[in-house]
Structure 1
Amino acid sequence: MARWQPNAPERLALAALELFEERGYENTTVIGIAERAGLTKSTFFRHFPDKREVLFGSGTMTDLLVGGIATAPPDVPPLEVVAHALEVIGREAFPAHRREFAARRRAVIAAHPDLREREALKGIGLTAALIEALENRGVPTLTARVTAELSALAWKIAYERWSAPTNTDEFGPLARRTLTEVRIAAEFRG
């Protein structure tokens, strides 16, 4: 692949995923990832600070989340605001053709403690961004926090379901249904 071709971050992520699967996370280097992608080490570092980050992207999810919350219809309950944001994220970040990559990515992350730690930190950052975005809409702090925590759980479950090999649902509607299921489970009085 020529160095000038577009989509360097996607090429690097795919190369990293392949190498992590083949050699393991510990035995994969930034130089190896760059070479597999047909790029240079300096190009890698233009897009990612380290090899852990290559599977997590930049602030794209945070930007999509905050934008989705900001564009949600006015005067809807906080969980509906989040459902709107998750549908935006589904359209922009989780098209059907990315499902196989997502499933492979999940397996690689599950196998490596450093990557699980990074995934957890990203989740904490997204939850914090969600709280702030909801508060910016005028949602009281406690309500924003509870909504964000429930939404983070729903997002995680929806992502696992969406990336399953047998799934054919789009992410947005699946995330909306999962958010409803999590809300119902939180109200369980058994």
Structure 2
Amino acid sequence: MGRWKPNARERLERAAMELFVQRGYESTTVAEIAERAGLTKSTFFRHFSDKREVLFGRDELRRLFADAITGAPAAASPIEAVVAVFDALAPTFGPERRAWGKQRQAVIAGNSELRERELLKLASLAEAMTGALRDRGVPDPAASLAAELGGLAFRNAYARWVELPADEDFAVVAREELDALKSAMTALG
């Protein structure tokens, strides 16, 4: 097996997604994923704790969210700091990830355990933003409200972005979603 070839993580992600789409999430085993990727089962577990983590990753997004808020200009409002997150996400959500994202959404939609895990992941991202905003001196409830709005805008933007043509920029879509949420809040009175 080619366990010493580069890009093991990406190969495992690609193999897992192919199998999840072809055979279903529940019917796919870690051994099958590793075999499809030309790797060993132990190599799989060096990169992922279980097959769910292929879809949800480690904490890279959580760190990226917090770091983007921390790195926003000092004069940025809480919402402007959240927009910095969307700008930081743009390289992560490039056109090459769109097809994978669309497949990911379909796999998650077909499994209640994965839908629950997705909600937990989204909650952890909002929590990371809340913590970073508090660290910037933003008091509650403003910190948690800005983070929740950012999390909802992210979720809506991601769902919309995977369906758009390849030239649509994720950060632009996310800003549009955030603007729509702000308008809806204003309309609530």
CA–CA separation in structure 2 for the residues paired with 1:117 and 1:12: 23
Q: TM-score, normalised by structure 1?
A: 0.94
CA–CA separation in structure 1 for the residues paired with 2:181 and 2:167: 21
Check the 8 A contact 2:108/2:115 in 1, yes or no.
yes
Q: Is it true that 1:177 corresponds to 2:186 in the alignment?
A: no
The size of the alignment, in residue pairs, is 189
CA–CA separation in structure 2 for the residues paired with 1:30 and 1:78: 42
CA–CA separation in structure 2 for the residues paired with 1:109 and 1:83: 26
Q: Which residue of 2 aligns with 1:24?
A: 24
Q: TM-score, normalised by structure 2?
A: 0.95
Q: RMSD of the alignment, in Å?
A: 1.5
Change (3 A) 1:189 1:112: closer
Paired residues for 1:94-113 under 5 Å: 94-113=93-112
Q: Which residue of 1 aligns with 2:35?
A: 35
Q: Which residue of 2 aligns with 1:123?
A: 122
Paired residues for 1:92-171 under 5 Å: 93-166=92-165, 168-171=167-170
Change (3 A) 1:167 1:95: closer
Superposition deviation, residue 183 in structure 1: 0.9
Q: Helix, strand or coil: the match of 1:114?
A: helix
What amino acid does structure 2 have at the position aligned with 1:21? V
CA–CA separation in structure 2 for the residues paired with 1:84 and 1:168: 21
CA–CA separation in structure 2 for the residues paired with 1:49 and 1:171: 28
Q: Which residue of 2 aligns with 1:61?
A: 61
Superposition deviation, residue 185 in structure 1: 1.0
What amino acid does structure 2 have at the position aligned with 1:126? L
Check the 8 A contact 1:100/1:165 in 2, yes or no.
no
Check the 8 A contact 2:95/2:166 in 1, yes or no.
no
Structure 2: segments with no counterpart, 5+ residues: none
Change (3 A) 1:126 1:189: closer
What amino acid does structure 1 have at the position aligned with 2:87? E
User: Percent sequence identity over matched residues?
Assistant: 48
CA–CA separation in structure 2 for the residues paired with 1:45 and 1:167: 33
Structure 1: segments with no counterpart, 5+ residues: none
CA–CA separation in structure 1 for the residues paired with 2:97 and 2:125: 21
